[in-house]
């Protein structure tokens, strides 16, 4: 595997922009690379920003404390995902990829004062009835100790790649699209939430930051980042979790901005099941499962 | 109802940080949650339903009406833990301790947490009265013209936000200005104030160095130690500071012998003595008795910060104790001069007779027993957190001392508060 070591956190806006432009060109030329690059992008020494964490905590509903939520570590690896996806030999760009599931494991508590080594790479492509699933694997180390690992699965509709594995992975948790969990708490998502989350996460994808961006991708308005909703669910449950945990999330339907949604969770012995539903109606926006790292 | 014994099991606080510094992003809820979580980690309380958590903040956002309950819900305690907000200015933390210990003594709780948090960096700002009234009128208006009329009453000056009040509403004087009157009335000199400040810094630095706070403090947001403590301060340095309160010759109060602005949170874990024993929890000291008092300072006859001088004699009499019968005195250093004026007043024949109605002065105390591990001048004074700083530290000190002349070591805590109030408690080693 090719290993690209970066010295500094890459600036995400140019990566996103070039990626979007390249995607537009490819839509016209119909020419795409046929394979996922066998590449790992590494940031060898990352100092976490306590100030940025505090802003992230507030935007997502976490308390301000020394220990970081698992989703924060995902945010730290996101620029590396962008580097992978915006490379000229990458078949797909972030535009047009639909974030369908997320799985992350916090192996031990991580403090904001700890320096991290971060990496991101592609997993093998997986079959999906509507296209191909691309796994983006992220890892965070303190020294040589793996402290966090995350897999984000993105669906590229209508695409396929050679050598696709079956959709279900041996260690994967297959979440249903709905669960029998009552959702009573109401979360009100203001219109500017996408911009607020974008500024703290660096994910400036226009689909989240403006109604025009949302319309460009076929939505009536902007939609909130799936990672915000994921983090908000974690924030609601975090005080009840153990020091290490695994969180699996399935994004079933984007949430338009502004809107109100409902949230609920249930303890099922060795794990929590949580759901986010529209304010009215019984569909789901997100289904989540949180368990100990070994489950 | 039963007569139970309430003991201090331990405590936890975050280091007190200078305002607008390390904790500038943290709210009162964040800091109180951190203090509770550290306590939970220390005593295995994660997932435990504590009888009740009682706390408060002096500078409190109106949205934080359930500050303590919100902190509980954000902590690792069982969410079935009830909580109550309470506020008595700088005596909030001690009054919370009184509340919890009284419930324990009545058999209504087997354990409870008392404390408080205060941020000067994240203070509430309210809109001006003019703007507030106009908005309320607009909201209540039934017709559009009435609403527009209400809104049109807003003037540019109304748009200036109101920071939290720092003056006593009935006198218009800040606490420093009030203390300056007291300082000059009691003839408290500059040097003796600076000596109190120096001792506070030296004692606190020594206690940190000895590891005294290792099981009383949990680091927060990268801060591991109280930021107010100045290891290298000297009488010369303190003496070089310009007075900030008072006028002319009476101007003796400086930034060195007055407490500055700090952010922090502190909690005390209290339990029924039998419950503590059954659950193998430490019992450091028992809460013997408490007293609160207030002084009539509004017309200038009495001192804003000397209300504890009312509480102390009443508490002593009820417990058949003399002012000299304590091995440790914890007198909150709102200002160095507050401590000195409190001691002077209790040693003043005329004041004790005429103002306090006693048969004579209480006398002097052995100053070597006063604030032996430093106090607010060095540690900082995040208002509602101070009680939770003092009580567990005194309890630990008493427990370490054990017995004195065959009786349990005995300590007294005295905290003055805005509004001319004060809270005092007697603790005895277990």
Instruction: Locate all alpha helices (DSSP H) within B333-401, ordered by sequence.
Output: 336-346, 349-350, 376-379, 386-401
Q: Are strands A131-142 and A115-122 parallel, antiparallel or unpaired?
A: antiparallel
**Are B6-124+262-278 and B175-211+229-241+289-429 in the same CATH fold?**
yes
A266 touches chain B (CB under 8 A): no
Residue A237: CA count within 13 A, CB half-sphere: 29
Whether B221 and A64 lie within 8 Å, measured CB to CB? yes
Q: Label residue B201 left, alpha or beta by phi (over 0 means left) and psi (-120 to 50 means alpha).
A: alpha
Chain B CB contacts of A58 below 8 Å: 25
Quick one: pLDDT at residue B320?
Answer: 98
Whether B74 and A55 lie within 8 Å, measured CB to CB? no
Least confident of A16-20, A134-138, A224-228: A16-20
Instruction: Locate all alpha helices (DSSP H) within chain A, ordered by sequence.
Output: 12-29, 50-60, 70-86, 193-201, 206-209, 211-216, 226-237
Residue pointed to by tokens 């592609």:
A122
E runs forming strands in B19-152: 52-55, 82-85, 111-118
The residue that leads in pLDDT, A294 or B402, is B402
Q: Which residues contact B309 (CB under 8 A, 6 or more apart)?
A: B295, B342, B345, B346, B351, B355, B356, B422
State how far the Cα of B100 lies from the Cα of A86, in Å rounded to an integer.
59
Q: Is B430 a catalytic residue?
A: no
State how far the Cα of B18 lies from the Cα of B263, in Å rounded to an integer.
6
Chain A from 96 to 135: CB within 8 A of any B CB: 112-113
How far is A238 from chain B, CA to nearest CA, in Å?
A: 8
Residue pointed to by tokens 């720092």:
B166
Residue pointed to by tokens 């809460």:
B287
E runs forming strands in B77-219: 82-85, 111-118
Quick one: pLDDT at residue A35?
Answer: 87
| pLDDT tens-place string over residues A253-264 | 999 999 999 999
Least confident of A115-124, A162-171, B271-280: A162-171
At the top level of CATH, which class does the domain B175-211+229-241+289-429 belong to?
alpha beta
Spell out the per-residue pLDDT of chain B, length 430, in tens: 467 999 999 999 999 999 999 999 999 999 999 999 999 999 999 999 999 999 999 999 989 999 999 999 999 999 999 999 999 999 999 999 999 999 999 999 999 999 999 999 887 777 778 888 888 888 888 888 888 888 888 888 888 777 676 789 899 999 999 999 999 999 999 999 999 999 999 999 999 999 999 999 999 999 999 999 999 999 999 999 999 988 877 799 999 999 989 999 999 999 999 999 999 999 999 999 999 999 999 998 899 999 999 999 999 999 999 999 999 999 999 999 999 999 999 999 999 999 999 999 999 999 999 999 999 999 999 999 999 999 999 999 999 999 999 999 999 999 999 999 999 999 999 9
- Rg of the Cα trace of chain B? 22
State how far the Cα of B410 lies from the Cα of B397, in Å rounded to an integer.
10
ipTM entry: 0.86
| Token pair for B298 | 């509004």
| Token pair for B71 | 């902190």
Whether B27 and A113 lie within 8 Å, measured CB to CB? no
Domain range summary for chain A, segments of one domain joined by +: 2-291
How far is B45 from chain A, CA to nearest CA, in Å?
A: 12
Whether A65 and B33 lie within 8 Å, measured CB to CB? yes
Chain A CB contacts of B73 below 8 Å: 239
**CATH superfamily to which A2-291 belongs:** Hotdog Thioesterase (3.10.129.10)
Question: Between the CA of residue A16 and those of A3, A13, A56, A224, B179, what are the distances in Å?
Answer: 21, 5, 21, 17, 60
| Token pair for A166 | 């079956």
Chain A CB contacts of B30 below 8 Å: 63-65
Q: Is B416 a catalytic residue?
A: yes
Whether A239 and B73 lie within 8 Å, measured CB to CB? yes
State how far the Cα of B14 lies from the Cα of B216, in Å rounded to an integer.
9
Among A57, A65, A241, pick the best mutation site for testing chain B contact (most B Cβ within 10 A). Answer: A65
Query: CB of B27 within 8 A of CB of A61?
Result: no
How far is A248 from chain B, CA to nearest CA, in Å?
A: 22
Cis peptide preceding A17, ω within 30 of 0: no
Quick one: pLDDT at residue A216?
Answer: 86
**Residue in B closest to A65 by C-alpha:** B221
Whether A64 and B26 lie within 8 Å, measured CB to CB? yes
Residue pointed to by tokens 């309210």:
B126
State how far the Cα of B266 lies from the Cα of B55, in Å rounded to an integer.
9
**Residue in A closest to B220 by C-alpha:** A66
B30, B76, B79: residue with CB nearest A64: B30
Quick one: pLDDT at residue B176?
Answer: 93
Q: Which helix (H) or strand (E) holds B206?
A: helix B190-209
Q: Is B84 a catalytic residue?
A: no
Domain range summary for chain B, segments of one domain joined by +: 6-124+262-278, 129-159, 175-211+229-241+289-429
Residue pointed to by tokens 């509980």:
B72
Quick one: pLDDT at residue B199?
Answer: 97
Q: Which helix (H) or strand (E) holds B413?
A: strand B410-417
Question: Between the CA of residue B403 and those of A189, B246, B319, B346, B428, what are the distances in Å?
Answer: 60, 44, 18, 27, 9
Nearest Cα residue to B367 out of B138, B237, B192: B192
User: Could you tell me the pLDDT band of residue A295, with boundaries at 50, 70 and 90?
Assistant: low
How far is B100 from chain A, CA to nearest CA, in Å?
A: 24
Chain B CB contacts of A69 below 8 Å: none
Nearest Cα residue to B8 out of B224, B290, B200: B290
The count of CB pairs under 8 A between chains A and B is 39
Quick one: pLDDT at residue A45?
Answer: 94
CA B176, B177, B182, B188 dihedral sign is: positive
E runs forming strands in chain A: 2-6, 39-47, 97-106, 115-122, 126-128, 131-142, 145-157, 185-189, 245-251, 259-267, 271-278, 286-291
- Give me the CATH topology for the region B6-124+262-278: Peroxisomal Thiolase; Chain A, domain 1 (3.40.47)
Q: What number is the average pLDDT over the span A148-174?
A: 87
Which residues face A115 on adjacent strands? A47
Whether B76 and A239 lie within 8 Å, measured CB to CB? yes
């Amino acid at each position: 595997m090719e290993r690209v070591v970066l010295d500094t956190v890459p600036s995400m806006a140019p990566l996103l922009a070039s990626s979007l432009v390249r995607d537009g060109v490819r839509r016209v030329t119909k020419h795409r690379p046929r394979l996922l690059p066998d590449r790992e992008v590494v940031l060898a020494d990352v100092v976490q920003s306590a100030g940025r964490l505090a802003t992230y905590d507030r935007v997502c509903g976490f308390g301000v404390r020394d220990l970081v939520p698992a989703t924060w570590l995902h945010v730290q690896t996101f620029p590396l995902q962008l580097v992978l996806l915006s490379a000229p030999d990458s078949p797909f760009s972030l535009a047009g990829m639909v974030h369908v599931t997320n799985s992350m494991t916090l192996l031990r508590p991580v403090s904001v004062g700890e320096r991290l080594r971060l990496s991101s790479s592609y997993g093998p492509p997986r079959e999906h009835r509507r296209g191909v699933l691309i796994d983006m694997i992220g890892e965070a180390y303190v020294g040589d100790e793996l402290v966090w690992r995350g897999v984000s699965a993105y669906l590229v509709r209508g695409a396929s790649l050679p050598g696709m594995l079956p959709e279900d992975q041996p260690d994967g948790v297959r979440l249903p699209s709905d669960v029998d969990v009552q959702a009573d708490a109401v979360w009100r998502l203001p219109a500017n939430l996408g911009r607020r989350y974008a500024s703290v996460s660096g994910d400036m994808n226009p689909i989240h930051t403006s109604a025009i961006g949302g319309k460009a991708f076929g939505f009536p308005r902007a939609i909130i980042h799936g990672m915000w909703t994921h983090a908000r669910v974690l924030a609601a449950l975090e005080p009840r979790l153990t020091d290490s945990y695994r969180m699996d999330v399935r994004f079933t339907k984007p949430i338009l901005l502004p809107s109100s949604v409902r949230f609920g969770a249930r303890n099922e012995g060795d794990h929590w099941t949580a759901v986010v539903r529209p304010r009215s109606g019984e569909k789901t926006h997100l289904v989540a499962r949180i368990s100990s790292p070994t489950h | 109802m039963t007569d139970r014994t309430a003991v201090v099991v331990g405590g936890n606080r975050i280091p007190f940080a200078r305002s607008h510094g390390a904790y500038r992003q943290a709210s009162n809820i964040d800091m109180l949650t951190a203090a509770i979580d550290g306590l939970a980690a220390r005593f295995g309380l994660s997932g435990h339903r504590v009888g009740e958590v009682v706390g408060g903040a002096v500078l409190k956002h109106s949205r934080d009406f359930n500050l303590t309950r919100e902190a509980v819900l954000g902590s690792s305690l069982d969410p079935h833990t009830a909580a109550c907000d309470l506020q008595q200015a700088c005596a909030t933390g001690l009054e919370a301790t009184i509340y919890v210990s009284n419930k324990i003594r009545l058999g209504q709780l087997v354990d409870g947490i008392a404390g408080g948090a205060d941020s000067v960096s994240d203070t509430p700002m309210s809109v001006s009265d003019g703007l507030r009234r106009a908005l309320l009128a607009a909201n209540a208006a039934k017709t559009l013209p009435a609403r527009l009329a209400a809104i049109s009453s807003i003037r540019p000056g109304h748009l200036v936000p109101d920071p939290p009040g720092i003056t006593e509403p009935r006198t218009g004087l800040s606490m420093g200005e009030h203390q300056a009157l007291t300082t000059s009335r009691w003839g408290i000199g500059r040097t003796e104030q600076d000596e109190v400040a120096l001792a506070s810094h030296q004692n606190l630095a020594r206690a940190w160095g000895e590891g005294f706070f290792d099981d009383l403090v949990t680091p927060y947001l990268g801060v591991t130690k109280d930021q107010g403590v100045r290891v290298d301060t000297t009488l010369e340095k303190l003496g070089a500071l310009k007075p900030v309160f008072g006028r002319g010759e009476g101007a003796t109060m400086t930034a060195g012998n007055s407490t500055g602005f700090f952010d922090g949170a502190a909690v005390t874990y209290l339990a029924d003595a039998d419950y503590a024993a059954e659950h193998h929890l430490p019992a450091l000291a028992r809460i013997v008795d408490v007293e609160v008092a207030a002084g009539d300072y509004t017309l200038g006859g009495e001192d804003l910060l000397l209300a504890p001088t009312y509480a102390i004699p009443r508490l002593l009499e009820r417990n058949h104790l003399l002012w000299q019968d304590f091995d440790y005195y914890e007198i909150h250093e709102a200002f160095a001069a507050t401590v000195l004026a409190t001691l002077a007043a209790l040693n003043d024949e005329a004041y004790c007779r005429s103002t306090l109605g006693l048969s004579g002065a209480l006398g002097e105390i052995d100053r070597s027993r006063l604030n032996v591990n430093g106090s607010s001048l060095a540690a900082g004074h995040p208002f509602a957190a101070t009680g939770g700083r003092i009580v567990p530290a005194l309890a630990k000190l008493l427990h370490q001392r054990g017995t004195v002349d065959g009786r349990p070591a005995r300590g007294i805590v005295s905290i003055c508060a805005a509004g001319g109030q004060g809270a005092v408690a007697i603790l005895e080693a277990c």
